[in-house]
Structure 1
Amino acid sequence: MQNWKVTLSYDGTEFHGWQVQPEHATVQGTLAEAIQHVTGERVLPQGSGRTDAGVHALGQVASFALAAPIPAANLMRALNRSLPPSVRVLAAHKAAPEFHARHDARAKTYEYRIYRGEICPPWLARYVYALNWPLDFDAMQQAAQAVCGEHDFSSFAASDPDLKTRGEGEPVCHVRTIFQSSWSREGDLLVYRVRGSGFLHHMVRNLAGTFLDVGRGHIAAEALPQVMAARSRSAAGPTAPARGLFLASVEYDQEGQP
């Protein structure tokens, strides 16, 4: 058996997220079907993380093992012929036997994109949150920088009762480390980029929604430490729409090479 690492880009609009779900199109399920079509082998590729319905990826990473002795370039070409146009394999490499796309990930970078023009072009509408309200960019930048470092991000975790415990009553740890968090202006876009050790369910969308509330003057930038300290979802702002979110890249210590 040969372990593989593949890097994917996808338009998440028509998918019910990454993880396989009965009777729903998912990225994981679509990739598994393409692998089976190419190699005849049934595998379940393991992603670096689960993107939600409607969320896109520029650099998702998946790993899986195959018995077929296929060259990397041939595997990449064959998968792209079998996959729908909304999913592309950007790279395929043989990986170390122990490599796992999720367990070995050391950092991830997400982008959230907001369109600021008067009329959002239809070819962008699936990939941005169109929002032309007046926003205080400097306040949003200040708020974004306030979340850097190691914190309990309970205030930005999805309000899902099923996620409050794991196993036999063990609380889910909401502590994460954010290495970089900032906004930039790029033409008609405002782009929020955040790089961290890991992210909670809906965390980036909840951060983006909170920073937008800061930009509108609904939350003071100076209040972000208090929002985090509250450890309550109700203390933060709304969840920004999925369509503006991209998983930009995933980092590994040894890049999974054998």
Structure 2
Amino acid sequence: MRNLVMTVSYDGTQYFGFQSQPGGNTIQDRIEAAIEQLTGERIAITSSGRTDAGVHARAQIINFHTSSLIPLERWAMALNSRLPPDIRIMEARTADPQFHARRSAKRKTYRYTINTNRVPDVFQRHLQFHHPTRLDVEAMRHALRALIGEHDFTTFCSVKSTKPSHVRTIFDAEIVEERESAASSSSGLIHVFVTGNGFLQHMVRIIVGTLMQVGEGKRDPSEMAVILQARNRKLAGPTAMAHGLMLWEVVY
């Protein structure tokens, strides 16, 4: 049997997240149904990680074992013809039998996008969180630096987490501003990139919710280190809306 690895892009707006659920309508459900239509095999795919309802992916990685003899170069086109237009297989490749999309991953990067223009972008509104007033980006950058390194991220984790350990390592975290031009008077877009060895439930969204409070002047940047060390979810900011979040990259 071949172990196939695929890169998947999807707009999560209409779905209940990646992982299969009894109610259906998840990314996993749609991909597995497409595989069954194509090959007749009922296969459970493995992903690099779950994404919540409404969260998107630029490069989610999945793998599965198949006995199908379909040539490798035909898989993406064949599956895409059986998938809805908001889910796309970008490429397919083979891997060693022991490759596992989640356990083999070395680092993941998420991007959260905030639109601070007065009027939201009609065409990108489901991919950006609209915050119609300026944010202090330099203060947000200062606060974000406190999270780099290995820490217990209980403060930035859903209280519903069932993980035995909340210790994770953030390798890199940065904020990139995007404007129409250097002379533009509009605030533009703020992209928050966070790269780590793994993420807890709602972790990036809680980090962003807290950063926005810093940007609004409701918190001092120095508070980020203090609330991180407290390991108390109640001390962090709100969970940012799901639609601004995207799984950006997975490295193996």
Q: Aligned pair 1:54/2:46, yes or no?
A: no
Deviation readout 1:48-75 (Å, 9 max, x if unpaired)? 0000000000000001000011211111
Greater mean alpha carbon deviation, residues 189-198 or residues 69-78: 69-78
Aligned partner of 2:227 in structure 1 is 227
Q: Distance in 1 between matches of 2:113 and 2:151?
A: 24
Q: What is the Cα deviation at residue 136 of structure 1?
A: 1.1
2:176 aligns with one of 173, 180, 184: 184
Deviation readout 1:30-49 (Å, 9 max, x if unpaired)? 00001111111100111100
Q: What is the Cα deviation at residue 202 of structure 1?
A: 0.2
Deviation readout 1:54-113 (Å, 9 max, x if unpaired)? 000000000100001121111111011111100000110011100110111110000000
Q: Distance in 2 between matches of 1:70 and 1:96?
A: 18
TM norm structure 1? 0.93
TM norm structure 2? 0.95
Aligned partner of 1:21 in structure 2 is 21
Contact between 2:117 and 2:133, CA under 8 Å: does it hold in 1?
A: no
Aligned partner of 2:108 in structure 1 is 108
Q: What is the Cα deviation at residue 218 of structure 1?
A: 1.5
Deviation readout 1:193-224 (Å, 9 max, x if unpaired)? 01101000000000000100111111210111
For 2:165, the aligned partner's letter is C
Q: Distance in 2 between matches of 1:182 and 1:211?
A: 12
Q: Moved runs in structure 1, 4+ residues, more than 2 A?
A: none
Q: Distance in 2 between matches of 1:76 and 1:54?
A: 24
For 1:18, the aligned partner's letter is F
Deviation readout 1:126-154 (Å, 9 max, x if unpaired)? 00000022311110000111100111100
Aligned partner of 2:153 in structure 1 is 153
For 1:34, the aligned partner's letter is A
Give the match's secondary structure for 1:82. Answer: coil
Q: Distance in 2 between matches of 1:249 and 1:134?
A: 28
For 2:237, the aligned partner's letter is G
Aligned partner of 1:121 in structure 2 is 121
- What percentage of residue pairs aligned between the two structures are identical? 42
Contact between 2:118 and 2:133, CA under 8 Å: does it hold in 1?
A: no
**Which segments of 5 or more consecutive residues in structure 2 lack a partner in the other structure?**
180-187
Q: Distance in 2 between matches of 1:31 and 1:115?
A: 31
**Which segments of 5 or more consecutive residues in structure 1 lack a partner in the other structure?**
167-171, 253-258
Aligned partner of 1:255 in structure 2 is none
Give the match's secondary structure for 1:13. Answer: helix
Greater mean alpha carbon deviation, residues 71-80 or residues 239-248: 71-80
Deviation readout 1:141-176 (Å, 9 max, x if unpaired)? 00111100111100000121xx34x6xxxxx20011
Q: Distance in 2 between matches of 1:34 and 1:235?
A: 44
Contact between 2:19 and 2:27, CA under 8 Å: does it hold in 1?
A: yes
Q: How does 1:1-258 map to 2 (within 5 A)?
A: 1-160=1-160, 163-164=161-162, 172-187=164-179, 188-252=188-252
